[in-house]
Amino acid sequence: MFNLKIVIFEPHPDDLLMGPGPVILNWIEEGHDIHIITVTDGRACFRKSEEIPSVEIPENEVAEMRINEAKKAVEFLGLPQENLHLLYFPDAESQKYIKEGIEKVKPLIRDAERLCLPSDNNLHEDHQATHDIAIGAARELKLTNIEYWVYFVPQYGRFNEDSKDKWVTIKISEEGKEKLQKWLQIYQSQSLTKNTWKLYTRYIKSIKQMLYAIYKFEDIGKYHNF
């Protein structure tokens, strides 16, 4: 099946790579119509960090830097800029904007044939809010005939065994790994904290496969991760 409209929810600029990145490369190669919804502006990425960034940057400038990285990532993937939908919610505060987020994304997903979103019961508040926005909008629109691909950014949790029959593993080729490594270089904001950049770099170099889970509308609320 080709030429599906696939809408991917990204909590922060860079989560596109670290969560759904490997499968996005496959979907682009298959010729699907890919749209990205970036929920927050990423301004708080250094706020709770145990590391001190090598350069002190005001949060407004951090937000501008990270939003520009989101745009560069879309360009790198060969997608049109109009397929990037920025909500600009303040990073670390997206729980306050769930209702507003639902209203903003409904027109964007109304004709979607596949949604890709973070897991429920997520350790990161913005990832949880992103899940709640996506599922809240899907419920209000009654999107009963589409696929729901769920992902984790690895440091924020893992899939529960209750959805094992929903799991799908995407293997990553050497060519795909090289592309992921080039993609990572876009997110230079993360290189300002040495240990974070080292973690990201090691992860992308070592990754061989990525686990996702595919659900249906009627599965909502029946699984730990959905």
Domain with 170, as residue range(s), is: 5-219
Q: 3-state class of 158 per DSSP?
A: coil
Q: Residue 57 sits in a domain of what CATH number?
A: 3.40.50.10320
Q: What is the mean pLDDT of the chain?
A: 95
38-47 burial by CB neighbour count: b if 16+ within 10 A, else e?
Answer: bbbbbbbbbe
In a domain? residue 13: yes
Between 157 and 28, where is the model more confident?
28
Q: What is the pLDDT of residue 47?
A: 83
CB distance 189 to 69 below 8 Å: yes
Residue 191 within any structural domain of the chain: yes
Residue 174 has pLDDT above 60, yes or no: yes
For residue 64, tell me if it sits in a domain. yes
Split into its structural domains, the chain has a count of: 1
Condensed to tens digits (0 to 9), the pLDDT of residues 9-53 reads 999 999 999 999 999 999 999 999 999 999 999 999 888 666 667
Residue 126 lies inside a defined structural domain of this protein: yes
Each residue's pLDDT tens digit, 177-197 = 999 999 999 999 999 888 889
Domain contains 225 = no
In a domain, 53, yes or no: yes
pLDDT of 1 strictly over 60: no
Nearest to 216 by CA among 111, 163, 144, 135: 144
Asked if residue 226 belongs to a domain, the reply is no
Would residue 162 count as lying in a domain? yes
Full-model pTM: 0.96
Q: Where are the beta strands (DSSP E) in the chain?
A: 5-10, 33-40, 84-89, 114-118, 147-151, 167-171, 209-215
The pLDDT, as a whole number, for residue 132 is 98
